[in-house]
Amino acid sequence: AHLVLLPEPPSRHARDHMLAALASGAVLHAGSRADRDDPSRAIARFAPGDHPYVIPPGGTSALGNAGYVLAAAELADQIERGELPGPSVIYVAAGTTGTASGLWLGLASAGLGTVHLVAVRASGPGTARRARVADEVRGTARRLGMSNAPLTERFELEERFAGRGYAIPTDAGTRAIDLCRGDLRLDPTYTAKAFAALAARAPEHRDQPVLFWHTFDSRLPSRGTTSVTDLPGGLRGYARE
């Protein structure tokens, strides 16, 4: 696997994930926004002649989104078995919007179309847009042979908690991490911002069942014996020990 990594603020989180990827055998490259916008450019630079299967940033594609269509069906099964009440509102973090798109389509197809889905933008407005969600929903429905689920007023893109941009922590997100400490581990990039939105808007939902869709997996593969000095030169500045 060739990983074309895009710029973000240096952090321990970024360092640990890069070292774990390196230990797993991946080949890491310092990419640019031009590589993100034109994957063919990245292929020509880093994997010429290999005819690679390209996974876009965030894993957002019709195939990737299908995982969250299935996740919504799993939620419907859990509700039917009485494992939790049917939610009136779901909060979920939104970056490249694949999670929110798959969930929206899945909720509609699983008989949960009355749920209000709040996708909390955690990155720049150019990444998480309502129009992009609509496009992803259409493309995913087409890929799966399902009926489209146009966005209605029950889909909301909450844009007030992203702060200064992707992977830049916010004060509200830090407070959310502290609030959940010991019960739920949040990450500063996505889920802390989503939970901050839920916490700020909790009075709106006083008499409603609210579901926080937690997308952060805090488990980390072993970094083995790798160290920052094993990273390509262009990435060492993002992975300070």
Please answer whether residues 86 and 209 qualify as being in contact, where contact means their C-beta atoms are separated by less than 8 angstroms.
Answer: yes
For residues 180 and 199, what is the distance between their CA atoms, to the nearest angstrom?
A: 11
Which H helix or E strand runs over 210? Answer: strand 210-213
Edge-to-edge, what's the strand order for the sheet holding 210-213?
A: 155-158, 116-121, 89-94, 210-213
Higher-pLDDT residue of 72 and 228 is 72
Token couple for 74: 């799993």
Assign 202 a pLDDT band (cuts: 50, 70, 90).
very high
DSSP state of 7: P
pLDDT in tens, 143-201: 999 999 999 999 999 999 999 999 999 999 999 999 999 999 999 999 999 999 999 99
Taking all residues of the chain, what is their mean pLDDT, rounded to a whole number?
Answer: 93
Query: What pLDDT is recorded for position 52?
Result: 85
Please answer whether residues 46 and 29 qualify as being in contact, where contact means their C-beta atoms are separated by less than 8 angstroms.
Answer: yes
Supply the Cα-derived Rg of the chain in whole angstroms.
Answer: 19
5 CB-near residues (< 8 Å, 6+ apart): 18, 28, 29, 30, 31, 235, 238
Query: What pLDDT is recorded for position 220?
Result: 75
| Cα end-to-end distance, the chain, whole Å | 25
Is the pLDDT confidence value at 241 over 60? no
Alpha helices in 38-97 (DSSP H): 39-46, 62-80
How many angstroms from the chain centroid is the CA of residue 229? 29
C-alpha distance from residue 197 to each of 133, 181, 183, 192, 203 (Å): 19, 17, 18, 9, 11
How deeply is 81 buried, as exposed, middle or buried, from its count of CB atoms within 10 A (0-12, 13-18, 19+)?
Answer: exposed
Please answer whether residues 66 and 144 qualify as being in contact, where contact means their C-beta atoms are separated by less than 8 angstroms.
Answer: yes
